[in-house]
Structure 1
Amino acid sequence: MSNNIRQDIDTIEIPPQLHLRSQMGIRQAKAEQEEAKHRVIRWSRRKTVVALVLAFILITTTIFNTQVIAAIQKALQYFPGTGMVIEEEVPQERYGLEKPVTTQIDGGTVVITGMLVDEKMTYITMSGTNSKRVQSIKIINEQGIEFSLESSGGTWTSDKWARDYWYQGKLDIKGHVQVIIGENPGTVIPLTLTKAETFNSYQDMGETSTANGVTITAIANRVGERARISLVSQHSKEFRISDYDGMYGVHEDKKLNMKDETGKVYELEHYMGLSSPASEFYFDLSGNDVKTYSLTIPEINVTYDDTAKISFNIPSQVGIPVVDNKTFEIAGFPVKITKLERVENNRLRVYADLNYNENSSKALHNFKINASHMAKLDERTMSLEYLEFDIEPGNKVVKLTISDPEVVIRGSWKFELPVSKYFNQ
């Protein structure tokens, strides 16, 4: 299996007015693995900033370590389907959607997966399967007042799509509301918004497990005949989690998995969404004989916010590798450039040794450069072997900025989820 991937990195400027009492980040996650699985994903670029920023508000306001977070004792509010945990000293009155709402439309399905309403904004996430993509929606509140929301970003494949809808400012929306999709007269979807519950700690939100400096909380509940598991985390501000589940992660044999006490394995699914990592999973509940489900996360993939710069002389002849042995450090990991090869007149291949260790608690396995490039990964370890990219004719020196180092953090994180506590009717 040759993992040759083209990747383009876009820099998106975040408007200063977009904040939700939380630090907001924005990244396109796992483009290489998405393409490797032959999924064609297109991003609507006109107004994607708002959607992508909001979808990544994953507890970034007080991400230090478990001891520091415990000492701060801020109030927590979690909003299912949006990937948001809001943390503040004095909690606002906010409203959300406790469970997703599914509607059949034109032979397909549309799912309103999450919603958040407060004094500053209204935010809705939605996905669909075999249905027309929805660009705009209307909301009618309990008083019959109608509000219009436009989609601020989206992603889609041939049969699935996900969008979110955002309104900056206060809307009088709570209790029983209606979402209208389409025109003349459109499809009416009734929703019930409930006041957000406030928690004193992550442990109060769900079962919590810590390994190698990362604390993960599994928020479990029942949605119809299915179980829903939502993952939120606490960790260093130096990195962000790119992948929990292994679906687009590093190693296929290290996927997040769910079993019951008999050893039966349950298939986990999730709705397509804009946020990364995928953090909300569903599985079909078994019969009444099951007492406990066990969730295990063997490893996670994280991306550090760090950069390094390096330059080297371009080999003069095509097809003759040149030993280099330059070294640099990124995110605390040493990297050696072992050799350079001019594979074409205008194309250079850079081989790297990332000192990948299969037995260490943390291992660097990939990074990006400031140019469109192809990456070749080791078939077994999925660690970077070389990068290949275009060079300008006549250039004798290449200067690269290395960024977004990707690191495997190994656990495991384990959660025992009693049926009587989380999944009873």
Structure 2
Amino acid sequence: MSNKIKQEIDKIPIPPDLHLRSLLGIEQAKLENEQNRLPSDKRYTNIKVIAAALLGLILLTVVISNTQVLAAIQKALQFVPGIGIVKEEDSPTARYVLKNPITKQIGEGSIVITGIMVDQQMTLITITGTNTTRFEKVKLVNEQGAEFTVKRSMSTWGSHEWSASFWYDGQLDLKGSVKLFLEEKPEVVIPLTLVQADTFTSYADMGETATANGITITAIANRVDDKARFSLVAQHSKDIKINDYGFFGLYAHENQKMNVMDSNGKKLPIENIHGIFAPASEFYFKLSEGNGNSYELTIPEIYTEAQDKVKIEIPTETTENLNQTFEIAGFPVTITRIDRLDDKSLRMYVDLHYSENTPASLHMFSLDSMSNVARMNDQTGELVYLEFDVEPNHEKQKITFARPEVLIRGPWKFELPADKYFDN
């Protein structure tokens, strides 16, 4: 067999479990043995024919093998509106969800049932309230009249607003028409409908999807009354978590926040219902008047937290031109100076080598298991120094840096035509 044909065959990726190279070697030996008994012109013709057949066999087997592998690893995806999670499973599960949020006025306040998920493992409900009681539990009644109580599992609250999740460990018979009861005087009854969650084979099937710098974001859009709703879900390395999709942004990056423009180039205000889970991932904007509108959602940058810790030793006395360098989350950090403030505390200046021209920038970290005060750069938002307490009568102290926060730049852009997502 000619060297050229051998080289072409060697370039083909072969799944290791198919042993095709062994098969190919046997066929090659047979071929060369037969060619030695033929005239040279027939040898060349037969080499091309048999080699082409072998190539076809290999390619067909590779395609079949890759298809089988893809089928084996392909997951069934179900998105839970309002709660903002995607359930990935080997096969679809009967899971019931609340398609759209429900708002209920209670006296001078209101509550919003933002999401409900019911499956074989659990029931999860998320509710936010403004100027209302923070409920300890909710009662649900199904179509057959069976009653179920779901207790509050987690909550956050301020002076006027609160958010809470209600969780039940196990399966409840809740689907279709359901009534939710709140402990008010008089009792508040909210009728709602739970529908079976749609199943998808890929994130792109759920909504518009964009990828930048290793992060893939999907915008799942629909209409709620006179507003557009879009929910964001992301695929990324398990080594990081997303803290903000750019809705809140860094105070020094006001022009880099998430934004929506309509077909006329008008920038539309984006709203977020305060939820219990981070990051904020469900947003609303008011639909523009007129037909044929399309909206462009842009996420210029996102803010993430990496799972990394670094322990170092630093001097506890004033030290100028220290230039002590370490690495955290893959980024270099230089401690440029130490200032001893008093007997109990010091200030540590750092250079994060921040650049606006890189795909990602470290802009913050903190001390593990120690309180500290941070000063940020007014122009970039990067950390300038940390102040913290030190042990008395020690020339050096060991400290651990944790929770490195990394800004990842996009942009991620999504076209959301009204006739596809919002005309219903």
> Corresponding residue for 2:91?
90
Which amino acid in structure 1 is aligned with residue 422 of structure 2?
A: F
**How much does 1:207 deviate?**
0.4
Partner in structure 1 of residue 412 of structure 2: 413
Instruction: Show CA shifts across 1:143-201 (max 9, x none).
Output: 11111111111112222111010000111111111111114551001110000100010
Match for residue 296 of structure 2? 294
The CA distance in 2 between the partners of 1:131 and 1:321, in whole Å, is 54
Out of 194-203 and 283-292, give the one that drifted further.
283-292
Q: How does 1:171-250 map to 2 (within 5 A)?
A: 171-183=172-184, 185-249=186-250
Going from structure 1 to structure 2, the CA distance change for 1:114 and 1:249 (only over 3 Å counts) comes to: farther
Measured in 2, the distance between the counterparts of 1:220 and 1:127 equals: 21
1:341 aligns with 2:339: yes
The answer to whether the 8 A contact 2:316-2:390 is kept is no
Asked if 1:150 corresponds to 2:133, the answer is no
Find the aligned partners of 1:70 and 1:338 in 2 and give their Cα distance.
54
Q: Which residue in 1 is equivalent to 2:283?
A: 281
**Structure 2 counterpart of 1:163:** 164
User: CA 1:69 to 1:367, structure 2 compared with 1: closer, same or farther past 3 Å?
Assistant: farther
Change in 2 beyond 3 A, CA 1:69/1:310: farther
Using the alignment, how far apart are the partners of 1:352 and 1:407 within structure 2?
16
| Secondary structure in structure 2 of the residue aligned to 1:124 | strand
TM-score by length of 1: 0.81
Residue-by-residue CA offset, 1:301-350 (whole Å, 9 max, x unaligned): 111111111111210xxxx5533211111111111111111112101111
Runs of 4+ in 1 over 4 A off after TM superposition: 68-71
Hey, what's the Cα distance between the residues in 2 that align with 1:241 and 1:304?
A: 9
Match of 1:331, as an amino acid? A
Q: Map residues 252-401 of structure 1 onto 2, 5 A cutoff.
A: 252-315=254-317, 320-370=318-368, 371-401=370-400
RMSD over aligned Cα atoms: 1.7
Kept in 2, the 8 Å contact 1:70–1:201? The answer is no
Cα deviation per residue 1:58-102 (whole Å; 9 max; x = unaligned)?
xxxxxxxxxx99994211000011121100111211000000000
What is the CA–CA distance in structure 1 between the aligned matches of 2:271 and 2:250, rounded to whole Å? 15
Distance 1:313 1:396 in 2: 6
Alignment of 1:106-121 (within 5 A): 106-121=107-122
Larger Rg: 2
Structure-2 change in CA distance of 1:253 and 1:109 (3 Å): same
| Structure-2 separation of matches of 1:153 and 1:197 | 27
- Does the CA-based 8 Å contact 2:249-2:256 persist in structure 1? no
Partners of 1:140 and 1:414 lie apart in 2 by 42
Equivalent residue letter for 2:165: D
Pairwise CA distance, 1:360: 0.7
Q: Distance in 2 between matches of 1:420 and 1:69?
A: 33
Distance 1:88 1:302, change over 3 A: same
CA distance change for structure 1 residues 69 and 233 in 2, over 3 Å: closer, same or farther?
farther
Change (3 A) 1:70 1:233: farther
Q: CA deviation at 1:281?
A: 0.2
Q: Return closer, same or farther for 1:108/1:70 CA change in 2, 3 Å cut-off.
A: farther
Distance 1:212 1:307, change over 3 A: same
Question: Retained in 2: the 8 A contact 1:245–1:278?
Answer: no
CA distance in 1, matches of 2:206, 2:321: 54
Deviation, 1:254, is 0.6
Q: Which secondary structure state, in structure 1, belongs to the residue aligned with residue 199 of structure 2?
A: coil
- Report the Cα offset of residue 289 of structure 1: 3.5
SS at match of 1:322: coil
Q: Identify the range of structure 1 (178-187 vs 231-240) with the bigger mean alpha-carbon deviation.
A: 178-187
Measure, in 1, the Cα distance between the counterparts of 2:138 and 2:249: 31
Secondary structure of the 1:253 match is: helix
Does the residue aligned with 1:102 lie in a helix, a strand or coil?
A: strand
How many equivalent residue pairs? 354
Structure 2 counterpart of 1:324, one-letter code: L
Q: Which amino acid aligns with 2:103?
A: T
Give deviations 1:104-153, integer Å, cap 9, x for gaps: 00111100000100111100000012222222111111111111111111
Query: What amino acid does structure 1 have at the position aligned with 2:255?
Result: D
Instruction: Give the deviation of 1:392 after TM superposition.
Output: 2.5
Which ranges in structure 2 are unaligned for 5 or more consecutive residues? 1-68
Query: Which is richer in helix?
Result: 2
Bigger relative contact order, structure 1 or 2 (CA pairs below 8 A, ≥6 apart): 1
